[in-house]
Amino acid sequence: MSEAPEISPTELNARWPNWTEQQDIVLLDIREPEELKLAMLENAKHIPMAEIPTRVCELNQDQPLIVMCHSGARSRQVADFLASNGFAQVFNLAGGIDAWSREIDSDIPRY
């Protein structure tokens, strides 16, 4: 199985400072709908982890893809799955939305 590299929220913002406005990068949030009610990033694409295998066709293999969850553990599994299935530019968001709240935007609730 291929292993996707990790990227921190700070590295993501340094590498793609306008990621929220760009069409060439996707932040894929794989958390459950209940988790989105607690904290979310507006411009993220949401596909729950369990639905990834059946909805993978919704993702573009040629775009950089950052996979996130709450802490980075579930997104690690999904990022590795995608890397093993032809996604060459897939990254795991280290620390997930919790790290995003600590490093980038403290207005994002932590849970």
CATH number for the domain harbouring residue 86:
3.40.250.10
| pLDDT band at residue 2 under the 50/70/90 scheme | confident
* Domain of 36, in residue numbers: 6-103
Q: Which of 69, 90, 94, 97 is catalytic?
A: 69
Is residue 110, in this structure, part of any structural domain at all? no
Q: Are 33 and 50 in contact (CB under 8 A)?
A: no
Per-residue pLDDT tens digits for 14-43: 988 877 776 779 999 999 999 999 999 988
Q: Residue 42: its pLDDT value, please?
A: 84
Q: Would you say residue 79 has pLDDT above 90?
A: yes
Q: Residue 22: its pLDDT value, please?
A: 65
Phi and psi at 56, nearest 5°, equal -60, -25
Is residue 31, in this structure, part of any structural domain at all? yes
What is the residue whose two structure tokens read 């993220």? 44
Summary mean pLDDT of the chain: 93
Has 69 been annotated as catalytic? yes
Residue 77: count other Cβ atoms within 10 Å of its Cβ. 17
